[in-house]
Amino acid sequence: MNKTFKALSALLTYPTAELQQAATDIGAVLAVEQHVSARIRADLQRLVDELAGGDLYDLQERYVLLFDRTRSLSLHLFEHVHGESRDRGQAMIDLKAQYEEADLAMSAAELPDFLPLFLEFLATRPLKDACETLGQPAHILAALAERLRKRQSAYEAVFRALVALSAAKPKDEEVSALLQLPDPEPTDLAALDAAWEDEPVNFGPGSGDGCKDGLIARVRGGMRPAPDMPRPTRS
């Protein structure tokens, strides 16, 4: 198992007392495996320290403002490439099938494209395969890292780590295209409402973009508990 991917998955879950208690183990895993550079590990440790020592309610509020309330920072990967289109539904089915083949359990309320769940899946794969698979959404991860950098969020480090681990580096034009999309602040309620506004439903031929799975996509995936992080052992 790739414990680094499991650790990064844990860092992106909704903050709980259990996550705070596991923070030391998460930091230890990243330090021992050293799959990312020392600079990125130092930035990740900053996030670990914030999670371990911060007020839980403040941490939860920050998480909700970033990842639940702001569509441009959604942790549902297909939100950034398929939006409300019919293609999203088929992509969900295909990804879920991969999880089932890997015996990765999902709850009924979870969506397959939730990033912490995707990282748990990658943790079950050989490192080379995991890094190659991570290359597929690398442009999304890079865009999220940049948006978090603008907000001076310690969560940026997780996405920088994922981009560094990806076997295929994101193309500048693909990242730029994502960054041109609206990116409202979580306190701008009018802009947020506009970003989440449902698209019209179209039926019949040529209605490929009318699938209304957006409401389901907004079911909070962040309630997924952080994966267990056993203390690392050196071989």
SS (H, E, C) the chain: CCHHHHHHHHHCCCCCHHHHHHHHHHHHHHHHHCCCCHHHHHHHHHHHHHHHHCCHHHHHHHHHHHHHCCHHHCCEHHHHCCCCCHHHHHHHHHHHHHHHHCCCCCCCCCCCCEHHHHHHHHHCCCHHHHHHHHCCCHHHHHHHHHHHHHCCCCCHHHHHHHHHHCCCCCCHHHHHHHHCCCCCCCCCHHHHHHHHCCCCCCCCCCCCCCCCCHHHHCCCCCCCCCCCCCCCCCC
Q: What is the pLDDT of residues 189-220, one digit of tens each?
A: 554 455 445 443 333 333 333 333 333 333 33
Q: Please tell me the predicted confidence (pLDDT) of residue 215.
A: 33
Task: Tell me the C-alpha distance between 139 and 91, whole Å.
Answer: 17
Q: What is the pLDDT of residues 74-103, one digit of tens each?
A: 999 988 875 555 666 777 788 888 888 888
Q: What is the pLDDT of residues 5-37, one digit of tens each?
A: 999 999 999 999 999 999 999 999 999 999 999
Please classify residue 93 by burial: count the beta carbons closer than 10 Å to its beta carbon, then call 0-12 exposed, 13-18 middle and 19+ buried.
exposed
Task: Tell me the C-alpha distance between 160 and 143, whole Å.
Answer: 10
Q: What is the pLDDT of residues 147-178, one digit of tens each?
A: 999 999 999 999 999 999 999 989 999 999 88
Q: Please tell me the predicted confidence (pLDDT) of residue 207.
A: 37
What does pTM read for this prediction? 0.78
User: Could you give the C-alpha distances from 172 to 6, 143, 148, 166, 184, in angstroms and in order?
Assistant: 28, 10, 17, 15, 22
The sign one gets for the Cα dihedral 130, 135, 139, 140 is negative
Q: Is the pLDDT of residue 104 over 70?
A: yes
Task: Tell me the C-alpha distance between 217 and 105, whole Å.
Answer: 18
